Chains A and B, each alone.
Chain A
Amino acid sequence: MAKIVGGITTSHIPAIGNAISQGLRHDTYWERFFDGYTPVKEWLAKVKPDVAIVVANDHGLNFFLDTMPTFAMGTAQRYENADEGWGLKTLTGFDGDAPFSWHMIESLVADKFDMTICQEMRVDHGFVVPMTVLWGEHDKWPVKLVPLAVNTVQHPLPTAERCFELGKALRTAIESYGEDIKVVIVGTGGMSHQLQGERAGIIDTDFDIECIENIIHNPEKFTQLSNTEIMERAGTEGIETIMWMVMRGALTEKVKVVHKHYHAPISNTGAGVLVLENTEE
């Protein structure tokens, strides 16, 4: 049977992709941030997941505003990265796992999560930046990707609570799959930031650290926040932290913290990195 080996959170800021391709890893601005990924890479090298379910939002590459699914899952055997229009380097595409994706879709829909099913999906920096910070850059990636897109762009958005519930249903879906594969779930985005309006430039380290601690120890507390409350404190784009809740929902009630790291600012954003493992089978 498939097994969840753990959950990871990471930001998916495009500037991270640029910093990697420009070789700024050891630049003073970036060093402490990138150092925070070293233990994650070590953990991944030890655990060797077969598939990564990456929870991210599309930023106007695959989905346009004509049709905006709240939750969408890729069911392809291959996902390509593509030109987003503003100069990010395009990376080699990723292998998917269609039978596993379709199994999850069957299970999720039966569990009343009416997923949008995507047999083709181009993946933007929201998916690709996490892959590169976690696994490095590859022509042939060492892990398969299943993209799970959450709408954090076009309001109304799903609530933190709904994302948490989706995570729980995802756990049921993963653990009922018949193949012996190791699965890691990556919740991306966040933390506090606002890119838009006169209020652009928000970072709230109190919110971010509280969010990290709640996601580890008390995710129900985070589910009690409305999207307005999150946006008020963490900024309109800080709402992306709801995607961390999908990851958290897929893990057991109590989790083991393998690694936790926080840094701010990175570009416009507070950036948190977590590696969590289940405490029970």
Chain B
Amino acid sequence: MSWDKHDYDHIPGTYVFNGERSAQGYGINKMAFSFNDASNREEFAGDMDAYCRKFQLSDEARAAVVAGDFLSLMRLGGNIYYLAKIAIFHGLTVQDAGAQMGGISTDQFKAKLLNNSEGFEQQLHTIGGYFHG
């Protein structure tokens, strides 16, 4: 048994959600999907570890869910849209989780986004025709 290699495997710090990851993280994502139902959220909040066991999560995955360790969850096959449904229990937004995965604070993360966007108004002006250009 061997998983296909892909031309996106080299992109650093990136976990493209392919078949291999989806198969690995199926339980984590299935559990997160169950949080669309408020009664399941209540049960999970009552005992996170026990709820994880219902979805046969590994020791490593259960620990990552309970700790809100999103980089570990990515490496275990979590999908970011599903992990967003877990983040909320740790009082985190997707942006907070992104900062955590990058090893920086949310304020630093926001500053990075602003920094990456810098100069766009000048670019729009150069091309022309933009509203508020």
Contacts and interface: CB of A to CB of B under 8 A. Distances in A.
Contact of A199 (B14, B33, B79, B109): B14
A165 B72 CA distance: 38
Given A36-B131, A64-B33, A205-B120, A197 B81 contact: no
Interface stretch (B50-58, B60-68, B121-129): B121-129
A83 B38 contact: yes
Contacts of A3: none
A153 B17 contact: yes
B14 to A, nearest CB: 5
Nearest to B83: A196
A213 B133 CA distance: 14
A58 B102 CA distance: 26
Interface string A208-229: 1100010000000000001110
A256 B132 CA distance: 19
Interface stretch (A92-100, A139-147, A168-176, A260-268): A260-268
B36 A199 contact: no
B48 interface: no
Interface in B18-62: 18-19, 22, 26, 29-30, 32-33, 35-38, 41
A202 interface: yes
A276 B117 CA distance: 25
Q: How large is the interface on B (under 10, 10 to 19, 20 to 34, 35 or more residues)?
A: 35 or more
A203 B88 contact: no
A57 to B, nearest CB: 9
Interface of A: 32, 35-36, 39, 59-61, 64-66, 82-87, 153-156, 194-206, 208-209, 213, 226-228, 231-232, 236-237, 257, 259-265, 267-268, 270, 273
Sorted nearest first, the 8 A-B pairs with minimum C-beta distance are: A198-B13, A199-B13, A200-B98, A264-B117, A85-B35, A203-B116, A265-B113, A85-B85
24 contacts: A60-B32, A64-B30, A65-B33, A83-B36, A83-B37, A84-B85, A85-B32, A85-B35, A86-B87, A86-B88, A154-B22, A195-B98, A196-B101, A197-B13, A198-B13, A198-B102, A199-B13, A201-B98, A205-B117, A228-B6, A228-B8, A261-B130, A264-B120, A273-B131
Given A65-B30, A199-B14, A203-B117, 12 more contacts: A36-B131, A60-B29, A60-B32, A83-B37, A197-B15, A200-B109, A201-B99, A202-B116, A228-B6, A232-B11, A237-B80, A261-B130
